[in-house]
């Protein structure tokens, strides 16, 4: 059986196989800034935005694509845990064409749901930027995104506000009633 496979391999060897394409060799050179982003005190239910700048240092235009990657624990910063849901991060565009020797920005939005279980967390995820290419070698640059959420939930704060107002109204009402009752009393 092994002999037959080898014979088939020899027959295949007579045919033309090309790997990869014929196009001329090029280098690849681009940068992404910033390399690391910290978002601190992000309230639950709210969103934070920042910009990534992609600088195409090549002599030809490139289309850059954006991805989200969950790094393994050993590659994360100390004390950081896995970002729970990639869908909480969005790019203003999933790809962007950048002319030769030009820069372009993409806006990244991070929005955390308003749920108590996400309060007081320290997460890390990586944002990948790659130039689309059919070349054998490609480069992908990762931006570290470190997100810390508020320890208190917004809803609890609003509850405090409501309680404060209700107590205030009750006491004001009581005070007003007491005052006018005293005033109305004949001397």
Partner 1 sequence: MKAAVTSIGVAIILALIFSLPALAQDSGTITITMTGVNEISISLDKTQWPLGAVAADTEQTTSPPIEWCTLTVEGNCNVKTRILGEDARWYKDGVAQNYYWTLSNTNESDISDSVRGHKYMLWFRVRGDNPPDGRGYVLITKEPSEFWPPPSGGSSLAPGDTKQFGLKLLTPTYFVGGRQMQTQITISAVAA
CA angle 67, 72, 76 (to 5 degrees): 90
97 to 136: interface string for partner 1, x by CB under 8 A? -----------------------------x-x-x--xxxx
CA–CA dist 57, 51 (Å, integer)? 19
Look at the block and give the residue holding tokens 């005052």. 179
38 to 77: interface string for partner 1, x by CB under 8 A? xxxxxx--x-x-x----x-x-------------x---x--
How far from each other are the two terminal CA atoms of the chain, in whole angstroms? Answer: 120
β-strand pairing of 122-131 with 81-82: parallel
Look at the block and give the residue holding tokens 């490609």. 138
Binding status of residue 94 toward partner 1 by CB under 8 A: no
The stretch among 87-95, 98-106, 115-123, 141-149 that binds partner 1 (CB under 8 A) is 141-149
The least distance separating partner 1 from the CB of residue 165, rounded to whole angstroms, comes to 6
Among 79, 87, 182, 185, binds partner 1 (CB under 8 A): 182
Q: Which residues pair with 63 in a beta bridge?
A: 97
The least distance separating partner 1 from the CB of residue 182, rounded to whole angstroms, comes to 7
């Amino acid at each position: 059986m092994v002999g037959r496979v080898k014979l088939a391999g020899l027959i295949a060897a007579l045919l033309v196989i090309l790997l990869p394409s014929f196009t001329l060799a090029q280098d690849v050179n681009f940068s992404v800034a910033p390399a690391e982003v910290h978002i601190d005190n992000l309230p639950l239910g709210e969103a934070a935005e920042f910009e990534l700048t992609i600088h195409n240092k090549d002599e030809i235009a490139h289309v850059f694509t954006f991805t989200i990657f969950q790094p393994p624990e050993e590659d994360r910063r100390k004390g950081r845990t896995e970002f729970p849901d990639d869908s909480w991060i969005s790019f203003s565009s999933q790809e962007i064409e950048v002319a030769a020797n030009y820069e372009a920005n993409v806006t990244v939005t991070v929005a955390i749901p308003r749920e108590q279980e996400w309060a007081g967390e320290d997460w890390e995820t990586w944002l990948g930027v790659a130039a689309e290419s059919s070349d054998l070698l490609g480069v992908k640059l990762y931006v570290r995104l470190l997100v810390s959420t508020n320890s208190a939930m917004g809803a609890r704060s609003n509850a405090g506000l409501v309680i404060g107002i209700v107590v205030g109204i009750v006491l004001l009402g009581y005070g007003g009633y007491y005052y006018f009752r005293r005033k109305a009393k004949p001397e």
